[in-house]
Structure 1
Amino acid sequence: MIRVALAALALLLPLPALAQAYQCRMPSRVTMPPAPEPGQTVRMPIARYTLAASWSPDHCKLRGAGDPLQCSGKAGRFGFVLHGLWPEGAAGRWPQWCSITPRPTPAELAPHLCMTPSPRLLEHAWAKHGSCMAKRPEGYFKVAAILWRSIRWPDADYLSQQDDLTVGDLRSAFVTRNPGWPRESVGVVASRTGWLRELRLCYGRDFMPQACPRRAFGPPDSASLKIWRGL
């Protein structure tokens, strides 16, 4: 099922885009992070998927010291970056920590660092989420990269300068860039004070857009929104 759905999706891909990176200058060598500490293993049938895209300037404003590759500027400047591809079960539950092995190799992580500029986060995403939908890290990263490259991201820098910006303005910008995407499949995560944190794109088991559950959809279109540009 996964291979058939992704083969069809790959035919619809736009021109290759490793990430919404304004610049991306990754190091020639990847330093492996410590192995993640596993949590409780939960196995269940997969009902849907979420592709979570963090807004990097906001992440770096809050936690930049902990992610030097993403936030120091030495590797480039990033807009939306892939937080993770998450399989989900029914009734608001999700499979997790199905295995922390095999660990990805530096050669498997390197091609995806412009998409997720953090070796630690890439391995964490594989161990916590990807191991419940693929047998090996490279299989999980391949699925995530195909979905990632199928998306055209809105110009959040431009939107950030708009007076009286709303969550609905961001959703509208996304569906304009991605004809055929239903706006009910575009979840938004914002802070309590209204700053953009993430977009969460909701897919069915066939990797086609699906309406987000209420908890994942986030604020209504009418809610005010602010976008930190990192300037």
Structure 2
Amino acid sequence: MLRGALALLALTMPCAASAQAVQCSLPAQMPRPRPVQPDAGQVGRIVPIGGYTLALSWSPQYCSTARGGDSAFQCNGRNGRFGFVLHGLWPDGAGGSWPQFCRKADLLPREVIRQNLCMTPSAQLLQHEWAKHGTCMASRPELYFDLARAFYQTMRFPDMAALARRDRLTVGQFTDAFVRANRRLRPDMIRVGTTRGNWLSELWICMDKALEFARCPAGKDGAKSSAYLRIEPGPAMPRPRPAPVTPARGPGLILDLDPHAQVPKEGGG
């Protein structure tokens, strides 16, 4: 578990539009998620944290097949047009296991959903990320999402429209383009996830225990560098601004997992 203090100061303040939303207008009434509990076969698990993963989803690919009410805000085009969105900030274990569902998760406050809906455009996914991952990192959802948002908003993205038009684009070429937009990253810090047909789905960016970008550990595999990659076209994104080397640091955000937290019983909240 993560105990003691991890300080990240001067976090980017919540805003209506995130770095990869061409347009995002919040609804007058915030959507309310359903409670999230471990699925059958999953258990709550508190184990030492060995690193972290910042997971970014390519929204056009998700929306090309998504159906149902949970995806409406992200995919119907009435409230926003999205490129890369934050799937989540995940704690990884030091070995073959990882922490998950570390404590009972209440429904997220409306203000937390409002602050993060343009970054992760699904209230249900926000609830899931807090229940499964955030409860293993912070005592309050505000702290977890502030940290996730800070790292997400440092990300800069290559010209995805141009990459989508390229014939015979490889995973390695795409990774190189992403690294050029984010000079503090190296190709070995990034894994690319694809769907059937080699369509870009997600990026997984690896961090060490100190929340510094780091080489991905063995076993955290993505698509092979030599594999061809297809990209579902998305909205034309604004030209990226230079990114800071890291989020500004200093006293301000304290993450502290309650040492008295209990692993929920199987089938519990």
TM-score (norm 2): 0.78
CA distance in 1, matches of 2:19, 2:174: 19
Gap change, CA 1:153 and 1:100, over 3 Å in 2: farther
The question of 1:55 aligning with 2:58 is answered yes
Higher relative contact order (CA 8 A, sep 6+): 2
* 121-130 vs 215-224, which moves further: 215-224
CA distance in 2, matches of 1:145, 1:97: 21
CA distance in 1, matches of 2:61, 2:96: 27
**Which of 189, 194, 200 is 1:196 aligned to?**
200
What residue number does 1:213 align with? 217
**Which of 67, 92, 97 is 2:96 aligned to?**
92
CA distance in 1, matches of 2:56, 2:103: 24
CA distance in 1, matches of 2:82, 2:179: 21
3-state SS of 1:67 partner: helix
On the 8 A contact 1:49/1:86 being kept in 2, the answer is yes
On the 8 A contact 1:134/1:140 being kept in 2, the answer is yes
Higher helix share: 1
* 26-35 vs 193-202, which moves further: 26-35
On the 8 A contact 2:169/2:229 being kept in 1, the answer is yes
3-state SS of 1:140 partner: helix
What residue number does 2:18 align with? 18
**Structure 1, unaligned stretches of length 5 or more?**
none
What residue number does 1:31 align with? 31
CA distance in 2, matches of 1:169, 1:49: 25
The question of 1:3 aligning with 2:6 is answered yes
Once the two structures are TM-superposed, the CA of residue 23 in structure 1 deviates from its matched residue by: 1.2
CA distance in 1, matches of 2:34, 2:107: 10
CA distance in 2, matches of 1:178, 1:27: 32
* 98-107 vs 192-201, which moves further: 98-107
* 159-168 vs 56-65, which moves further: 56-65
Structure with greater Cα Rg: 2
Which 4+ residue blocks in structure 1 deviate beyond 6 angstroms?
none
On the 8 A contact 2:193/2:202 being kept in 1, the answer is yes
What residue number does 2:227 align with? 223
**Number of aligned positions between the proteins:** 225
**Structure 2, unaligned stretches of length 5 or more?**
236-269
On the 8 A contact 2:22/2:82 being kept in 1, the answer is yes
3-state SS of 2:66 partner: helix
Per-residue displacement from partner, 1:97-154 (whole Å, max 9, x unpaired)? Answer: 0123343201111011110000100011000000000001111001101111111122
On the 8 A contact 2:37/2:131 being kept in 1, the answer is no
Equivalent positions of 1:128-167 (< 5 A) are 128-167=132-171
The question of 1:116 aligning with 2:120 is answered yes
Determine what percentage of the aligned residue pairs are the same residue: 43
3-state SS of 2:125 partner: helix
* 63-72 vs 117-126, which moves further: 63-72
> RMSD across aligned C-alpha pairs, in angstroms?
1.9
Per-residue displacement from partner, 1:158-206 (whole Å, max 9, x unpaired)? Answer: 2100121110111111110111211100110012321101001100111
What residue number does 1:73 align with? 77
On the 8 A contact 1:160/1:227 being kept in 2, the answer is yes
Once the two structures are TM-superposed, the CA of residue 18 in structure 1 deviates from its matched residue by: 1.8
TM-score (norm 1): 0.90
